[in-house]
Each structure stands twice: as C-alpha cells, then as structure tokens.
Structure 1
Amino acid sequence: MSSDTTRIDGKPEVVKEPSMLKQKEMIARNYEALTSAPETGRKVVSTFVPGNLNELVMCFDMLNNLPEINAIQNGLRKKSGAMIMDAEKRGHSEDVCTYVKADIGMMGKGNIAPNGKPLPPPDLLLLSYTGCFTFMKWFELLRHEYKCPTVMLHIPYQGDGRITPEMVKYVVKQLREEVIPAMEKVSGVKFDIDRLREYLRESAKAEDNLVWVLESAKNRPSPIDAYFGGVYYIGPIFTAFRGTKDATEYYEMLRGEIEERLRKGQHPITPEGEMEEERYRLVVEGPPNWTNFREFWKIFYEEGAVVVASTYTKVGGVYDLGFRHDPDKPLESLAEYCLGCYTNRNLPQRVDMLVQYIEEYQADGLLINSIKSCNSFSAGQLMMMREVEKRTGKPAAFIETDLVDPRYFSYANVKNRLESYFQMIDQKRRAAGAAA
C-alpha cells in the first residue's frame, strides 16, 4: 500500500494514505465551490451534521455549508480560541457551545474559509432539529445576522426509544409542505424525486462500506482506530458528499486499504506511522477535542490504546445498527435517518449501544470524554458510565475537555487520568487471571 506524508504546523510528518488524500481533496473542493458561489451563482444552504439532508440539498443544485465543520477546521488550525473569546466579549456566556461561539467569532473575522477566501452568506438556513436544542438558538443568531429565509424541520425525540409510523409521517409532511417548497423557491429548481432516488442509491453504497470499515475493528489486532482515525472516515459521508459518486469511490478505496491491512495483520495508522502494539481496546463516548487533536491522540497510541468503537462516529447516522437510505421510499428514508441520529436517541438506547459495542468488539472498558460546553452529549453521561460498568463488569473512566476551546484541554490532567485508567484495566486483568 502506498502512502504519502505532509506537515502540520511544522510538527512531525503525518502519514497520509491514498483515501485520506482523496478525502482532503474532496473537502478542499467543497470549500472552493462555497467560496466561489458569488461568481458561479450557486445558492448556499447552511445546515448541521446530525440530520444532514445532503441528498435533498443536491436535488436543487445548492451547496452545503456546515457551521460545525467550519468550527472544527478552525479548531484544528488553532484559530478557534481567539474567535471564542471575541464571541464572549460580545456577550455570549462561557457555558455556550463552543461551536456556536467559534462560528460567531468567525463572522467577526470575515468568515474566512480554510482556503483563505470568505464564505458567502447563506441563501437558506435549514435547521434539522435532531436532539441538540442549541441548534435552535444557533440558527436564531444566524438568522439575525444574515436575514435570509429559514426553514425548520422538527424531528420528534425518541423519548420512548423507538420510531413510530406517526413520527415518520410527521417529518415527511414537513419535508413535502415546508422544506421542499422553501428549497424550490430559493434555488429556482423544481424538485425531482427520481433525482433524489439516485442520490440515495449512492448513499446506501457508501454506508455499506463505511459500516464494513468500522466493524473491521472487531478483529485482533484492529486495523483501524474508530475514534481518532474514525473522524477522517466519517468526513465525506457526514458532510457535503453523502449521495455522490465521489463518496462511493472514497469508501470503496478506504475499504480496500483496510482489507489489505487486515490481510497483513497490521495495526492502525497514527500520525507517526503504524501503531506498534495493541495493549488496550476501548469504547469511547463523546466527541474528541479538536484544538489539541494530535496531542490527545498521541496519549492513546503511545500507551497502545486503540479505540475499537465510538459513539461520535454515529452522530451523522447510526448505520451499523441497520439503517440505510432507501431509494424506494425516499422521503420516508430521509425522515427515518433524522429520527435515528445518535443525539436523537434517549439515554437507555445510548447505554444499550455502548454495552453492545463493549461486548461485540471485546473492549477492555469504556472511556467518556465529557465535553464541557456540549449538553447533548454530556447530559447523563455519569449515569450511563455507571450503568455500562454494572452491565458489562468492565471498568470505565471519565475525562473532560471541550470541542474547540483550548482553555479546557489540560494535557497533563488528561494524560494522568488515562494512565490511571490503563492501570485499572491491568489490575482487572490480573485479578481475573488469579481467579481463573
């Protein structure tokens, strides 16, 4: 397998496999299309990752801009801290989601995209509400700023842990009567359901291969890291490429690479090359920290800790539990997708998922990275941790960082807690060995 390298901020060379290079090119191309919209005349929709209706957006020849992804990009480039502080000076609380504050701060600095060009104002705000109440306040702020048309797709919460036919009908009715007409009006393009069906066919192909890749972590050694490496794998399908042939090709390429790694019995690729030894297999709950992503990951791979399953890689779709976009029921499929997103699932469902992951992936335990400013993930996590420990008998640990606020990442604190956790796993193993 061939690979390439690049440098980030003058740090050691980062291994880049062909699929990662393709993914990087895809993301860059989308930013180029977005920043060129004033010249090309294409309309821009701002929306969110959970409940992302990319296939529908493409039906109207519109471009998909995702505020969370912009915040992540600024976090990775270590630019989000200043943006967050600017937003706080404008009156936004320290406890507000740092994605929101990074976005507000980005506006004040010219809305510059990673390619160095300004992002255009959105022509439509599409709020697909999937369990994160912050989204509503976020779009209220954006609507005040941009004064553009706004449409809300309300997604009922899975309070009882299931999706009912009535819930699906409710969402489909909104799609037909509110969302699609708004998109037709803004874009000037008539809705074509056959075009939507074609995009959904491509989505299902990509989803099949993504699930195969994530489930490859059931092997020993795991050929992937399903949290740190996983954030690269989900990039195209969670953003502006689900439903495209580009995404289909990317996931075919990625699967081929992982198949080769499995055949060779290789460990996951890290920023410093192939991991040498798999000592701990973990399930992780919660998003990663983006401002110190490399340092955060390094703590894990230096200890031989591989994340074999994570909930974060399910925020844009829980495909490994069976859902696929279905061209035979296009609008119903979009509704079921939104209803099934991880943040729209109740706490017992999330606990069930974590327990299933620990058992199916033969993990040594659960690690929760609690995000200070993210209530959608953090609410109930201590209860979830205790319940998972009780049901699996495996040890769990709790650390706290933030999404894109560098003030809430303490390398020494995180490292000490993780080292203590790995010692706890070792002690459990020794006790189990002695009992046997």
Structure 2
Amino acid sequence: MNTVISMPETRKAKPVAIKEDAMNLQKELINANYRDLAQAHQQGRKVSATFVPGNLNELLMCFDFARSLPETNALQNGMRKKSGKMIMDAERDGQSEDVCTYVKADLGMMMGGEVGPTGDVLPRPDVLLLSYTGCFTFMKWFELIRHKYGTETLMLHVPYQGTGRIDPNMRNYVVKQLKETIIPGLERISGVKFDIDRLRQYMKESVKAEEDLVKVLQSAKNRPSPIDGYFGAVYYIGPIFTAFRGTPEATEYYRVLCGEIEERIRLGKGPVTPEGDMGEEKYRLIVEGPPNWTSFRDFWKMFYDEGAVVVSSTYAKVGGLYDFGFRHDPDHPLESLADYCLGCYTNLNLPSRIDMICKYIEEYEADGLLINSVKSCNSFSAGQLLILREVEKRTGKPAAFIETDLVDPRYFSAANVKNRLESYFQMVKQKRTTGIGADMKPVFQIHPASMGA
C-alpha cells in the first residue's frame, strides 16, 4: 500500500532523475512534513500515527496533530536503500519472514533509533488511530507499536464491503464510533476542542484537490497517455493520500500538476520518466498490486524501455476511489468520512475489484492486465489468480503475473522480472496480430514463483 516522494538513491552512480515540477513540489511537501514531525514535541504539539487507506487526515488536523504514516515511512526507507537492514533486524528480533515487510521495516527503524527516511528522528506517537480498511495486518502492526511505546490506540472499526456496496447501517455504525469514541478520544489526547466547521473547511479544500487528481488520472485515456498511471501516479497520489489532503498546499500542488498534464496533452507527449520524455507508446497496461520500492527506478525502466505505459492501476486507488465519484462532503462531514473509509480499494470484495479492472481495461483501451504479486502483502495478493482468470475471461485480453516485494530487496530479481515482462509483451503483440493467446493457458499463465536474492 501507500505513496512515494523521491526517486531512490542507489549505491551505483546513476544520472540524476528527470522530474516534472509537480514531482519536485511533492518532494518538498513531504520532506517538510518530516521536519514538522521531528520538531513537533519540542513545539508542544501531539503526534498521531495512522495508515494511508481510510486515513482521517482532515479530522486529525482539527486537533492540531502532527501526522505520521508508518507505510510512507517504510516505503521511503525502501527507496533510500535503508529498509533491508531494518527488515533483517526485525527478523532477528523474532518477526517471521512472511510478515508484511512494511511492518518489519517500521519495527526495524524503531530498533535503530527511530531515524526517519530524511535523517530526522521521528517522534513517538501520542495516539495510534487505526481505521481498519480491509487489512488485518494494520491491527497487529499497531498492537506491536502499542506494546513498545504504551501508546493509546483509538480503533475505528470499518465494516468490510462483503456485498459490494455501502449500506446505510454500515455508514451509521462508523459515524456512531466517530461521535462516541474517536472524536472524544482525540479531544482528550490533544487538549483541543472539536470544531465541526473547521472540519468542513478542510473538506472544501479536499474536494478541490480530489477534482484535479481525477482529471490527472483520467488524462491517461488520451493517446499517447501523458502520464504513467502506476509509476508516475505514486507521485501524483502522494499529497492527497498522506498528510496534506485538506490543506491549501495540496490544492496548489494539484493545480500545478493539472497545468503540466494539460500542456503535455497539447504537445502530444507521453509520460515523463526518470530519463526524460517516454518514447513511442507501444503497450497500454492496467496493473494490479503495489510497486516494488527498493528497485523502483530499475523496475519502471523495464516498462518504458519497451514502450509500455500503465494507463491505470489499482494501487493508485488504495487511498480513495475518487475516479468512481467519491468526494468528501463538507455538508455531511462525518458521513463523508465514513464513506471514505468504507470505499477504499482494500475494503472491496473480489467481484468489485474485478469489475473495476475490467472497466479500466475498456475505458482506457488497455492491451491487458499485469499483476505484481507482492510476497508479503496478503491484502492485495489474496485472490489475485482468481482476478487474473476472470479478467481474461471477461475481456479477452491477456493477463500475467510478476512477483516482487514492497521493501525487501531480497525479493526483487531483476532478471526474472525482465524475462517475464518481455514474454508478456510478446504475448500482447501476438494477441493483437492473430487474436490468439489469451485462451492459450500454457502460454499465458505465468504463476508467481519464489525469487531469491
């Protein structure tokens, strides 16, 4: 799960990554948040920790919390090549190899003096706000942190969308918890009285950013696509999925980003890659599953070297399904928070996820589906083979697996991934020219396999 700030620093000398102005602006925003966190306790501010899917950022701002997101911390450490040692430290401390590597990277960071991705020491949180949205790991993760720090935990239980829809009783259940448990708890811990008009004002800003984000993501319907909806999108979703949704800074970020994308469309340009403008668009893909962060730049290069652009991805929706119409509603703020939590991608059942992917393939005129099956992320990986088979059957488009991990460098085999991608692009080409391929299971079914170092 979760968002990215800067291109990874590597031990090998590489050319400086080329970025859009909005990418640099996003980096400045997130780095500023790390500085804010580092200084929070000295400035008398309380600190909250919460997760990306279903995060209640607007609500937390009402209580003046400095806001930390453990997933973002883990992936940032992964991109900076710091997570490998953290993970091994956590395993030596007793964590299993199969535990989510975000969790182990976070625990390892704590064991190493809590030095964050930017080199600033991150403060111990004063409250753990857990809004469960389809990932049981979140609960165990915060249980471990609570045991280490003795930090108070506020639990917002969010019902799973087992039927594929949000029923009124589900919404009412979440709102009741907000009123009776979450808001009183945040008032007590922060010492700040809740002001619903303040929440409404933050939501007005959220809506502006959400409108512009949808314009950016849906710009990929153009040919060529001016964005990459997976590797590029992790920059675009950063401010809105983390500590900036509801702020004027996020509104300004998406205004700048929209302007850049509109100019790329006008000029007929494809996405900006770390090596400059992408060349000819040869393949249009939908991708399911989170990216690999420890080799992010090398991973992306495997795609754009082949002329493959991801026009839409499920990962870019993990923090909100804005392109399906959701917007925060200042007129019904608590109900809006409930709907946001209930509607996150990881809280959807498999039929809903399949419907979404099939819709993307049709609307974005994609050539097929590629699944990055992440070894340690059950929230995404469970059911992906079923998703692959059903999408192939319903769309007639080829689908395939690759397998990596989130932030564990031991589970990224560049040669293995590259070979699978090249085979997949050959299948797409064959399907285009002959109409044969998607029904040839021995050709297409590339199953996950263990990847050693």
Q: Identify whether the pair has TM-score above 0.5, normalized to the shorter chain.
A: yes
State the distance in 2 between where 1:139 and 1:298 align: 35
TM-score (norm 1): 0.97
Give how far 1:6 is off. Answer: 9.1
Taking the TM superposition and a 5 Å limit, the aligned residue runs for 1:222-237 are 222-237=225-240
Q: Deviations over 1:138-164 (max 9, x none)?
A: 010010011011110000000011100
2:329 is the alignment partner of 1:326: yes
CA contact (8 A) 1:6 1:13 kept: no
**For the Cα contact (< 8 Å) 2:47–2:127, is it kept in 1?**
yes
1:80 maps to: 83
Residue of structure 2 aligned with 1:52, choices 55, 60, 65 = 55
**AA of the residue aligned to 1:74:** N
Distance 1:432 1:338 in 2: 41
Separation in structure 2 between the aligned mates of residue 287 and residue 177 of structure 1, nearest angstrom: 35
Aligned position for 1:18? 21
Partner of 1:116, secondary structure, is coil
Report SS of the residue matched to 1:39: coil
* 4+ aligned runs moved over 3 Å, structure 1: 5-10
Specify the code of the residue in structure 2 equivalent to 1:174.
Q
Deviations 1:224-253 (A, max 9, x none): 000000000000000000000000000010
- Alpha-carbon displacement from aligned partner over 1:9-29 (angstroms, at most 9, x marks no partner): 431121122111111110011
Q: Which digits, 9 at most, give the CA deviation of each residue in 1:262-312, with x for residues without a partner? A: 000001000000001100000000000000001100000000000000000
Supply the distance in 2 between the matched residues of 1:293 and 1:25 (Cα, whole angstroms): 20
Aligned twin of 2:257: 254
Query: 2:128 aligns to what?
Result: 125
- Aligned match for 1:265, one of 247, 264, 268: 268
- Secondary structure of the equivalent of 1:15? coil
Shift of 1:115: 2.8
Once residues 191 and 313 of structure 2 are traced to their aligned partners in structure 1, the CA distance between those partners, rounded to angstroms, is 41
Give the structure 2 partner of residue 245 of structure 1.
Answer: 248
- Give the whole-Å Cα distance in 1 for the aligned partners of 2:7 and 2:364: 32
Residue type of the alignment partner of 2:301 = K
**Aligned match of 2:30:** 27
Alignment of 1:5-404 (within 5 A): 8-9=9-10, 10-404=13-407
Rounded Cα–Cα distance in structure 2 between residues aligned with 1:54 and 1:332: 15
3-state SS of paired residue (2:18): strand
Residue 422 of structure 2 aligns with an amino acid whose one-letter code is E
After superposition, the CA RMSD in angstroms is 1.2
Indicate the percent of aligned positions where both proteins have the same amino acid.
72
SS of aligned partner of 2:116: coil
**Does 336-345 or 15-24 show the bigger shift?**
15-24
User: What 5-or-longer segments of structure 1 have no aligned partner?
Assistant: none
Are the counterparts in 2 of residues 368 and 399 from structure 1 also a CA contact under 8 Å? yes
Distance 1:141 1:6 in 2: 30
Q: Secondary structure at the match of 2:113?
A: coil
Distance 2:391 2:276 in 1: 33
- How many residue pairs are counted as aligned between the two chains? 429
Specify the code of the residue in structure 2 equivalent to 1:78.
Answer: K
After superposition, give the CA deviation of every residue in 1:93-138 in whole Å (9 maximum; x if it has no partner).
Answer: 0000000000000001111123312111000000010000000000
Cα distance in 2 between the residues matched to 1:398 and 1:295 = 18
Which amino acid in the other structure matches residue 267 of structure 1? G
Alignment-mate amino acid for residue 406 of structure 2: L
Partner of 1:411: 414
Q: Cα distance, 1:7 vs. partner?
A: 9.1
